[in-house]
């Protein structure tokens, strides 16, 4: 007597055998490619800029300008600034990127470092600097919707990303900085801050910062020619800058 097989069971067995045959099929390169997850393209960093024409209208200058109340409110006004992808902005002099530039001071010494190979601005690699800073990004936009204090919070965030600052300090906005004599300077506009520290307990937070140390005037003077242009400008008028940071 033969064994009767239910038709539904027979169909199930056939489906199972077909699945096993499919699983035994060789995995080709095209099969692997089809199984790879789709990786979304990297989004460009979005940075805060103003039109060069605004800077010209406010009164363009070279070097340092200490009229903070004349320039800064207009630069931070959301009607005047906007976020744009960083790559094209780096070569477009019709825009000025707003860069907080912070000098960290303890007693009569100023923090100095050398920009390493991993620096975000490759045109400044191997240059000495007495300014810590960076771009204001689109994730700071909520801050800018508030007030001037919110901008300062954004500056503190930027410093916290680059340094491990284990000291209390006071933050002073002392001036604006512009240098159209080179390609980097043509597309940036600095807001100069002085952090007066209670102690010199500061370590680097990013790989791009090398040879971090506090230096006195004589030591900085010996390194002046190796400084980036913004730091040269600040060093040459360091007495005026520090006098305003009180």
**Following DSSP, what letter does each residue of 75-118 receive, concatenated?**
HH-TTTEEEEEHHHHTT-TTEEEEEEEEEEEETTEEEEEEE-TT
pTM of structure: 0.79
CA-to-CA separations, 177 to 14, 66, 203, in angstroms, rounded: 78, 9, 26
Task: Tell me whether residue 85 is in a domain.
Answer: yes
Within a domain: 12: no
In a domain, 32, yes or no: no
191 located within any domain: yes
Q: Which domain holds residue 150?
A: 46-243
Residue 168 pLDDT: 96
Domain CATH number, residue 146: 3.90.79.10
- Residue 20 lies inside a defined structural domain of this protein: no
- As for how many domains the chain has, the answer is 1
Mean pLDDT by groups of 10 residues along the chain of 246 residues: 42 49 53 55 84 98 98 93 94 96 97 75 71 83 61 86 94 97 95 98 91 97 95 97 96
pLDDT value for 126: 76
Q: Does residue 33 lie in a domain region? A: no
> What pLDDT does residue 130 have?
97
């Amino acid at each position: 007597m033969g064994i009767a097989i239910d038709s539904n069971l027979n169909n199930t067995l056939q489906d199972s055998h077909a699945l096993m045959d499919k699983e035994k099929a060789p995995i080709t390169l095209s099969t692997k490619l089809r199984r790879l997850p789709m990786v979304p393209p990297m989004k460009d960093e979005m940075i805060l800029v103003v039109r060069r024409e605004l800077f010209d209208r406010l009164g363009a200058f070279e070097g340092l300008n200490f009229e903070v109340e004349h320039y800064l409110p207009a630069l931070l006004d959301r009607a005047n600034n906007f976020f744009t992808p960083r790559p094209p902005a780096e070569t477009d002099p019709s825009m000025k990127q707003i860069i907080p530039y912070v000098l960290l001071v303890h007693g009569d010494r100023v923090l100095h470092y050398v920009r390493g190979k991993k620096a975000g601005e490759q045109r400044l690699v191997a240059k000495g600097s007495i300014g810590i800073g960076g771009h204001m990004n689109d994730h700071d936009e909520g801050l800018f919707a508030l007030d001037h204090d919110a901008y300062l919070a954004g500056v503190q965030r930027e410093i916290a990303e680059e340094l491990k600052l284990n000291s209390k300090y006071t933050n002073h906005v002392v001036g604006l900085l512009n240098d159209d004599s080179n390609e980097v300077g043509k597309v940036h506009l600095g807001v100069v801050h002085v952090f007066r520290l209670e102690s010199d307990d500061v370590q680097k937070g990013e790989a791009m910062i090398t040879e971090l140390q506090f230096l006195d005037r004589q030591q900085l003077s010996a390194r002046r020619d190796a400084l980036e242009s913004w730091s040269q400008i600040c060093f040459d008028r360091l007495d005026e800058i520090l006098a305003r940071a009180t």
